Amino acid sequence: MQIGVQLIVWGQRNRIDRAGVLGEVAQAGFDAVEMSPQPDPDQADEDLRRNGLRVVASHANTGSLEHDLDNHLRWLEHHRANLLACSGSDYPTSAQYKEVAARLDRAGARCREQGVTLCYHNHAHEITHDMFGLSHILAETDPANVKLNLDTYWVAKGGQDPAAVIRLLRGRVGYLHLKDMLPDGTFGEVGAGTLDWGAIKAAADSVGVSVGVVEQDRTARTPLESSAMSRRFLREQWGA
């Protein structure tokens, strides 16, 4: 499995010290990042090249997806990457989920024309109540147009077992976001919490998921320490 890292754990430093952040990404042992289009693409290319990094995915949100889609597609084509994650919100009604799903399906069809896979990123609210939200997204989109960027922490936070959900949604999981859950229910480095990573890896392998991106929104450690812990665990325990 290819392993990358999402830059969210570095917070505002992504805006003011991207070169330093990417240096720490490489120092932590990663060679791939999930990284959205940058305002200075030429300098971003140089920062990535200098640190031996490649872009594996980009990330959008449903509110800006349609008017910003071309920008993401150009960015991904430039970096020869083919994954675009899209985060939603907590939609309380079936009608709202259906409207969002229709937008995702249209965008996913355009992505597919360009060789990019659009992957809906879940949080806990799509998983709770017997996966009410996720069920609507899946039922109202063409499997060829929309896959899932399944987040292990948020699946568990929503009350489901990540490995079981990966197997249940065979064929719809485009790639994984990897983060652990500490005993108090907060974010944790991969391998430092309560999730069964052996079962998650076996499930991912069984359904052909080939990309995993470490994404830890917040940490009590420094971003470098946190990301290095997750990368070391995945190398030692997953051989990835």
Question: Where are the chain's structural domains?
Answer: 2-238
pLDDT tens digit sequence for 27-65: 999 999 999 999 999 999 999 999 999 999 999 988 888
pLDDT tens digit sequence for 71-124: 999 999 999 999 999 998 777 788 999 999 999 999 999 999 999 999 999 999
pTM given for the model: 0.96
Give the span between the Cα atoms of 117 and 173, in whole angstroms: 11
* pLDDT over 90, % of the chain: 93
pLDDT at 238: 97
Give the span between the Cα atoms of 105 and 141, in whole angstroms: 5
Give the span between the Cα atoms of 130 and 180, in whole angstroms: 21
Strand residue runs (E) in 28-142? 32-34, 54-61, 83-87, 117-121
Q: What CATH number does domain 2-238 carry, 3.40.50.300, 3.90.480.20, 3.30.2290.10, 3.20.20.150? A: 3.20.20.150
Cα-based torsion angle of the residue sequence 25, 26, 27, 30 in order, rounded to the nearest 10 degrees: 80
Give the span between the Cα atoms of 6 and 225, in whole angstroms: 15
